Structure 1
Amino acid sequence: MTQHTKDPEDRQAYLASVGTALPGEPVDNATLAKVLGINEEWVEVFIGTKTRHFARDLGTGTVRWSLADLCAQAAERALAAPGVDPSAIDFIILGTATPDTLMPATVNHVADQLGLDQVPTFQLQSGCAGAVQALSLARTMIASDQYRTGLVIGGDVCTKHLDLQRDLSGAAPGDLVNFVLFGDGAGAAVITDEPVGQRVAIRTVLNRFTGLGRDPGQVIEWFGLADRYDDRQALTEDYKAIEESVPVMAVEILWELLGELDWTPEDLDYLLPPQLSGRMTRRITEQLDVPTAQEVSCVADTGNNGNALPFLQIEKLLGQMSGGEKALAVAIESSKWIKAGFALEKI
C-alpha cells in the first residue's frame, strides 16, 4: 500500500485499462438447441441472444475453466495494458454471484495465479450489480487517500448451476429460459488515482438496494452436504417480474445519474444499458430513449455472464471513445432488486 497526500477536493478515480476473458468458442443457438433438445427459433425470438460461451463442455459437462481461471486471464490482460504497472496494485476486489468455493474465496485464488501477495483482497457476493459494487468500493478506497492503484474484477460461471444433461423437451418457458440466457466469462479493470493508460475518469457510481418488501426476482441455491438431496432447482427466476420491473428501474437510474452529475441526455455520447438478453436489452434501450447516445451492448454475442458484462461493455466502449466524450452505464440486479450504474468521461 502506497501512502500519499492529496487534497480531498482533487481526489478522483480513473479507469486505466480493461481486460476480458470468454471461455472457448461461441456456442450458437443451433448447437445449444440440439444439445438441449429445444426449439432453436424459440431461443432466437424469445431471448434474442445469438451466441454465448461456456466454461463447461456441452457434451460431457466437464469443467474446462474455473471462475478463478477466467478472472485471472482477464486481470492479466488488464495488467498488461500500456501505462499500467502491475507491481503498483494496492488491492484486489472481485464481484461474483458464482464463486468456485465458499472457502477459500475465489479472489484469493486469482491473486495467487497473478503472483500478487501482501495486498488486501475483497470478494463481494452479488449478481449483476456485483461488478458495479466492486467499482464503487475501489473508487471509495482510492478517494480515501490510502491507496493509489487497485484491480477490480467481475465474473461468473453460471453453467455450473445448470444440469445440461436434463431432458428439457417438456420444460416450461420460465424454467427453460435459464438454460439459454446465461453464459460464462470475466472482466477486470485497473483503477488509479491519476489519469494514466486509457485516462477515463469515473465521475460517479450508483449502488442502492431497493427491494424492501419485494419478493426476489431470481434465486440461486447453494446446496451443501446436508441438503444435496433436496428436490429444489438450483436456479429459479421470475422472468415476468423482471420483464416488468427492469425497464422501469433503468429509466429511474438514468435520470438519477444525470441529475447527480448535472448532465442532460444530450450530453451523453454513449449509453451502456442493462445486459439481460438481446431481446430485453433492445426493449430497455428503447425505453431509456437517448437517441443522441450510441448504444454499447454485448449480451447478444456473449450471453448473460453476470458480473463480466460491465467490463465487456467498457472494453467495447474504449475502442470508440475519444477525449471529452461521456458515457453512462445502467445496471440492475433482480435477485433482490438493486439499482446500479456509473458515469465515465474520457480525459
Structure 2
Amino acid sequence: MTAPTAHLVSVGTCLPGEPVDNATLAKLVGVDERWAEMFIGNTSRYFAVDLATGHIRHSLADIAATAGDRALTQAGLEPGDIDCIVMGTATPDQLMPATVNLVADRLGIDNVPTYQLQSGCAGAVQALDVARTLLIAGRCATVLVIGGDVCAKHLETDFDPGSRTSAELVNYVLFGDGAGAAVLTAEPLGHGIAIRQVLNRLVGLGKKPGQVIDWFGLGDRHSDRTVISEDYKAIEAAVPGLASQMFWELLDDLGWAAHQVDYLLPPQLSGRMSDRISAEMPAPDARRINVVRTVGNNGNALPFLQLAELTEQWQGPGRAVAVAVESSKWIKSGIALERT
C-alpha cells in the first residue's frame, strides 16, 4: 500500500518594485559598496518601502496576495478550489487581524480554515508542514501555503549615515522584502512533485537568540532598544552544522543516499554565507539552488523563491532536498521532494 503523501502543484512569487543594487544603497544610506559585496555578498534586494522618502509602497498583504494569485493561476485553479490557507511570516502587517486573513479576503477566499505561523525563515517550512499534515489526514484536498516578509518597515529612513555603525548598516544590505506561495494537493497535478517528508526541529534550548526583531507598543515606543539585531558570528558558526544535520535527518528518515539527491536548496542567509554553506553541505553532485544574492534575505519568501527556481530547472524524475535554518531561537527545518 502506498503511503499517503502531498503534492506540490505550483509556486508563485512576488518581489516588490525594482531591484536596489549596492550602488543605489550606498547613496541612500551610506553603505560602502565594496564592504557590502565582500562582507554580505548580496548584490541587490527589493524593498516594499521607498528608502529615499520612507513611503510604504506595498504591504505584506499586497505582495502575499499577488504571490498567491500567481500560484493559483499557474495551477489552473480558482479561489473557490482552496480548502485551507496556511501562512508563515515574522513581519505581519498588524498583530490583528492576521495577515493571512487579509490575503484570503483579497483573493476572494472565504469559509475555509486559515492559519498564521509567527516565525522567521523556518516559518515557510513550518507552513508547508502544517499543510502537508492536513492533506495526509484527509482534512483538506487543496491548500494554499504562503510565506513572506516586509523587513524594510523596520529600517529607519531619516538618519545621518555617518552616525550608524557597520552592525546597524548591515541590515540594509542583508534584508529585502518579498512573498511566495505554493498550491499543495492530496492528488498529483501539474509538475507531479511529491512532498516525501517535512521536518522541523527547535534546537535552541539554553542558547541565546541569534536574531531579534523587537516589537514596540504605545507604552514603550520611545525605548532605546534596537529594532533588529543579530549575532552574525554566532550565526556563521552554527548554521552550517545545523544545515548538515537536517540534511542527514531527512535522508535517514527516507532511506535516501546523498548521491541520490539531484537538487539541493541550502539555507539562504546572505550571498556569501549561503555560498559557503552550500559548498560545505553533502551531496556534491547535486545542483545548488541559491537565490539570496540577488533578492536579499526576505525571510519566509526565500524557500518559495528557491522552489520557483527549482520547478523551472527540474526536468524529468529526481529528488530534491531543501533546508532552512532560523537563527532567532535556533530552528532547523527541511523538506524532501521527489518527481517520478
- The TM-score bracket by the shorter chain reads over 0.9
In the alignment, the residues of structure 2 paired with residue 68 and residue 170 of structure 1 have an alpha-carbon distance, to the nearest angstrom, of 33
In structure 2, the residue matched to 1:86 is 79
In the alignment, the residues of structure 2 paired with residue 82 and residue 334 of structure 1 have an alpha-carbon distance, to the nearest angstrom, of 33
In structure 2, the residue matched to 1:208 is 201
Output one character per residue of 1:292-321: Cα deviation in whole Å (capped at 9) or x when no partner. Answer: 000001100100000000000000000111
Q: Is the 8 A contact 2:79 2:107 kept in 1?
A: no
CA shift at 1:251, angstroms? 1.1
Summarize the alignment of residues 65-104 of structure 1 with structure 2, pairs less than 5 Å apart: 65-104=58-97
TM-score by length of 1: 0.96
Q: Is the 8 A contact 1:84 1:196 kept in 2?
A: no
Alignment partner of 1:330 is 2:320: no
Of 22, 34, 40, the match for 1:41: 34
Of 109, 121, 136, the match for 1:116: 109
| Secondary structure of 1:55's aligned partner | coil
Of 270, 277, 281, the match for 2:270: 277
In the alignment, the residues of structure 2 paired with residue 108 and residue 130 of structure 1 have an alpha-carbon distance, to the nearest angstrom, of 17
Output one character per residue of 1:4-46: Cα deviation in whole Å (capped at 9) or x when no partner. Answer: xxx8x54210001000000000000000011111211100110
In the alignment, the residues of structure 2 paired with residue 266 and residue 10 of structure 1 have an alpha-carbon distance, to the nearest angstrom, of 24
Of 110, 120, 134, the match for 1:127: 120
TM-score by length of 2: 0.98
Aligned length: 340
CA shift at 1:82, angstroms? 4.1
CA shift at 1:169, angstroms? 2.6
Consecutive unaligned residues of structure 2, counting only runs of 5 or more, are none
Q: Is the 8 A contact 1:93 1:122 kept in 2?
A: yes
In the alignment, the residues of structure 2 paired with residue 172 and residue 261 of structure 1 have an alpha-carbon distance, to the nearest angstrom, of 46
| AA of the residue aligned to 1:171 | R
In the alignment, the residues of structure 2 paired with residue 279 and residue 165 of structure 1 have an alpha-carbon distance, to the nearest angstrom, of 29
Of 286, 311, 314, the match for 1:318: 311
RMSD: 1.2
In structure 1, the residue matched to 2:251 is 258
In structure 2, the residue matched to 1:241 is 234
In structure 2, the residue matched to 1:3 is none
Of 189, 205, 213, the match for 2:182: 189
In structure 1, the residue matched to 2:6 is 13
Q: Is the 8 A contact 1:129 1:339 kept in 2?
A: yes
Alignment partner of 1:55 is 2:48: yes
In structure 2, the residue matched to 1:152 is 145
| Secondary structure of 1:319's aligned partner | helix
Output one character per residue of 1:109-152: Cα deviation in whole Å (capped at 9) or x when no partner. Answer: 00000010101111000001000000000000001112100000
Q: 1:265 to 1:15 in 2, by over 3 A?
A: same
In the alignment, the residues of structure 2 paired with residue 301 and residue 118 of structure 1 have an alpha-carbon distance, to the nearest angstrom, of 38
Of 136, 139, 146, the match for 2:132: 139
In the alignment, the residues of structure 1 paired with residue 254 and residue 60 of structure 2 have an alpha-carbon distance, to the nearest angstrom, of 35
Alignment partner of 1:179 is 2:172: yes
In the alignment, the residues of structure 2 paired with residue 161 and residue 82 of structure 1 have an alpha-carbon distance, to the nearest angstrom, of 34
| Secondary structure of 1:108's aligned partner | helix
CA shift at 1:85, angstroms? 4.4
Q: Is the 8 A contact 1:26 1:53 kept in 2?
A: yes
| Secondary structure of 2:313's aligned partner | coil
In the alignment, the residues of structure 1 paired with residue 159 and residue 226 of structure 2 have an alpha-carbon distance, to the nearest angstrom, of 12
Q: Is the 8 A contact 1:84 1:197 kept in 2?
A: no
Alignment partner of 1:107 is 2:116: no
Consecutive unaligned residues of structure 1, counting only runs of 5 or more, are 1-6
Q: Is the 8 A contact 1:138 1:191 kept in 2?
A: yes
Q: Is the 8 A contact 1:217 1:334 kept in 2?
A: yes
Query: Which structure 1 residue ranges, 4+ long, deviate > 6 Å from structure 2?
Result: none
In the alignment, the residues of structure 2 paired with residue 137 and residue 289 of structure 1 have an alpha-carbon distance, to the nearest angstrom, of 27
In the alignment, the residues of structure 2 paired with residue 265 and residue 106 of structure 1 have an alpha-carbon distance, to the nearest angstrom, of 38
In the alignment, the residues of structure 1 paired with residue 116 and residue 44 of structure 2 have an alpha-carbon distance, to the nearest angstrom, of 29
CA shift at 1:175, angstroms? 2.3
